[in-house]
Structure 1
Amino acid sequence: MSKNLLEQLREMTVVVADTGDIQAIEKFTPRDATTNPSLITAAAQMPQYQSIVDETLKQARLDCGATAPAAKVASLAFDRLAVSFGLKILEIIPGRVSTEVDARLSYDTAATVAKGRELIAQYEAKGVSRERILIKIAATWEGIQAAAELEKEGIHCNLTLLFGLHQAIACAEAGVTLISPFVGRILDWYKKDTGRDSYPASEDPGVLSVTQIFTYYKKFGYKTEVMGASFRNMGEITELAGCDLLTIAPSLLAELQATEGDLPRKLDTAKAASAAVDKITVDEATFARMHAADRMASEKLAEGIAGFTKALETLEAMLSARLKELEG
């Protein structure tokens, strides 16, 4: 019996679920799962997860005290909600869950380090090993330096909102566990910038970016894992078959599962090791120069941080309103 594309993909790439929807994770049984503020905000509004939200709010009220303003309680609850979802997800999957640091801290190294430690402490207080958690941090220069510090403490990091080779190299040189280059958001930018409606999958700018990063890492023996993320269509995924990991939304997991056909390996560690690639050392000045020169990466990083910040503010407002309902 022939295998579907999802089954074949799993033979060469670790498949990760990109969602906060616990039922979707149960359906597709990935090894790992990733969340972000937008996904947590969406999941928190689903009726089936209202109990998680309510339990988190009630505990936050107890910890803040009966007289604390609703906004303060909601702020504490928001901090804990991603961990609450993470704990539920870890009951299902055998591997790791990525939990994101507040996007508003993206340019503050010390605050990001402190928040990473705090998130790990919450998981460890519930009996979960830090080996099963990836602290998700935006790949600003400050975020990368925070990740370097956390990695020295045995706190593993997933650097997100990654759009350029300079970000990827800085992450690898910092000893980061994993990076998440955003395939679909790169495609979005190029479509808008060029006026093109579409690209063939093999010419997709996001696919080419991840292929370049994968090749660079394998050529120079970096241990940092590459996890393609933010997909817009199935072709982007099949063109990256062989990548270390791919984190995929439930709708595309379903499409892969429903599709028959051959899935050839496109990314190969052995071939990448012999590629003609020059090594680049990325210090802070080089990072700043390359980032400024890469209009796409500069715009998409800023846009991504703004988008996640907006999702967090929406979630905080929602939690405050729900707390008032619970307390009559």
Structure 2
Amino acid sequence: MPSLLEQLSSMTVVVADTGDLEAIRTFKPRDATTNPSLILAAAQLPAYQDLIDQSLRASREKVGQRASVKEVVDEALDEICVIFGKEILKIIPGRVSTEVDARLSYDKDKTIEKARKIIALYNQFGINNDRILIKIASTWEGIKAAEILEKEGIHCNLTLLFGFSQAVACAEAEVTLISPFVGRILDWYKAETGLQSYPGPEDPGVISVTKIFNYYKLHNYKTEVMGASFRNVDEIIELSGCDLLTISPKLLDEMSKTEAILIKKLDSSKPINSIEKLHLDEFSFRKMLKSDRMADEKLEEGIVNFSKAIKQLEAQLIERISLLENKGSPALSAR
């Protein structure tokens, strides 16, 4: 009997949720996603130190020999994300998602500027826009930034999505893809109710993504739905048939070793239990988001945590460049 992973791959695009190149080689997904936390984790592995040094070298050359260490690191943050993305694209046939600095989540203009810079870096490596998804937090500002970027041919993945209001606004903005966070929704409800677990069909994150998926398909939105942030295999099973699912290496491994019949739960040709089409302006979006305490709290928490990961990566890079330049390492240009 085929494994759960093999069966899932026949009905859903499986995406690797990792910055670990070896894990991507092992599971051979079509697409891959990264975020600040994943890049931070990968950057601490000795196997990827050469990529970090490559990013620092390129950044030093760009900002010049007189630039401060902080200026080099500011530039290197984008370089690192793109270099990891470039290496991932050598392995997978599809797309990689690269995230805009979460600290820009409430600044539309700076988000647009950063997204254009990331795409330009990819283009310099000969990688076209169709292989890149720019990840942007699903704030009102982020969604409006994505709307503009999409019209420029820059495809966007709206992340940190927890509430229906965010999903509706993303569809109206005609973004390429959204990433509703299944596991983090479950985390909130477990903390709120004191329940230790939920059966798969009753999992609040599963219910949320199912609602969004059926709403999109009923109203013929082109925006793809990619469930993310899974806590267990049961959540994945309940969302089989979703457009895409981005899954951690640990759960991919578990599914590859499990033999059981997998039934397709979501069908784009047969949307069920959906609601009439909504139209949200900024006021109604904010009101609807605020009325959903879980979505409002988890969005803010996600932005804070991703921002912390970026600060940790910055500190790691400052330490690394200081060490290399003090040693006169050939990894960087001479000062």
TM category (shorter chain) comes to: over 0.9
Look up the match of 1:301.
299
Residues 11-47 of structure 1 deviation map (CA, whole Å, 9 limit, x = unaligned): 1000000000000000000000000000001101101
Count of equivalent residues:
326
Q: CA deviation at 1:67?
A: 2.3
Look up the match of 2:212.
213
Structure 2: distance between partners of 1:258 and 1:13: 18
Structure 1: distance between partners of 2:59 and 2:269: 51
Structure 2: distance between partners of 1:140 and 1:276: 24
Structure 2: distance between partners of 1:79 and 1:152: 23
Look up the match of 2:129.
130
Work out the percentage of aligned pairs sharing the same amino acid: 62
Look up the match of 2:199.
200
SS at match of 1:270: coil
Match for 2:287 among 286, 289, 302?
A: 289
Structure 2: distance between partners of 1:4 and 1:76: 43
Change (3 A) 1:43 1:10: same
Structure 1: distance between partners of 2:228 and 2:310: 20
Q: CA deviation at 1:169?
A: 0.6
Residues 64-90 of structure 1 deviation map (CA, whole Å, 9 limit, x = unaligned): 222221111111111210001000000
Q: CA deviation at 1:281?
A: 1.1
Q: How does 1:1-328 map to 2 (within 5 A)?
A: 2-272=1-271, 275-328=273-326
Residues 72-120 of structure 1 deviation map (CA, whole Å, 9 limit, x = unaligned): 1111111210001000000000000000000011001111111111110
Structure 1: distance between partners of 2:269 and 2:157: 24
Q: Which amino acid is the alignment partner of residue 207 of structure 1?
A: V
SS at match of 1:269: coil
Structure 2: distance between partners of 1:104 and 1:210: 26
Structure 2: distance between partners of 1:197 and 1:134: 35
Structure 2: distance between partners of 1:275 and 1:325: 59
Q: Which amino acid is the alignment partner of residue 82 of structure 2?
A: V
SS at match of 1:134: strand
Aligned partners of 2:214 and 2:274 also within 8 Å: no
Structure 1: distance between partners of 2:232 and 2:98: 25
* Structure 2: unaligned runs, 5 residues or longer: 327-335
Structure 2: distance between partners of 1:224 and 1:62: 39
Q: CA deviation at 1:271?
A: 2.2
SS at match of 2:136: strand
Aligned partners of 1:226 and 1:243 also within 8 Å: yes
Change (3 A) 1:276 1:139: closer
Residues 293-327 of structure 1 deviation map (CA, whole Å, 9 limit, x = unaligned): 00000000000000000000000010010001111
Aligned partners of 1:219 and 1:275 also within 8 Å: no
Q: Which amino acid is the alignment partner of residue 267 of structure 2?
A: D
Q: Which amino acid is the alignment partner of residue 277 of structure 2?
A: K
Aligned partners of 2:143 and 2:158 also within 8 Å: yes
Structure 1: distance between partners of 2:285 and 2:101: 23
* Structure 1: unaligned runs, 5 residues or longer: none
Structure 2: distance between partners of 1:259 and 1:188: 25
Structure 2: distance between partners of 1:62 and 1:125: 15
Aligned partners of 1:101 and 1:135 also within 8 Å: yes
SS at match of 2:269: helix
TM-score normalised according to structure 2 size: 0.96
Structure 2: distance between partners of 1:294 and 1:139: 14
Q: Which amino acid is the alignment partner of residue 251 of structure 1?
A: K
Structure 1: distance between partners of 2:200 and 2:76: 41
Residues 208-245 of structure 1 deviation map (CA, whole Å, 9 limit, x = unaligned): 00000001000100000000000000000000000000
Q: CA deviation at 1:276?
A: 4.8
Aligned partners of 2:15 and 2:246 also within 8 Å: yes
Structure 2: distance between partners of 1:61 and 1:281: 47
Aligned partners of 2:215 and 2:274 also within 8 Å: no
Structure 1: distance between partners of 2:64 and 2:277: 55
Aligned partners of 2:69 and 2:322 also within 8 Å: yes
Change (3 A) 1:186 1:276: closer
Q: Which amino acid is the alignment partner of residue 61 of structure 2?
A: L
SS at match of 1:137: strand
Structure 2: distance between partners of 1:114 and 1:59: 20
Structure 1: distance between partners of 2:170 and 2:283: 15
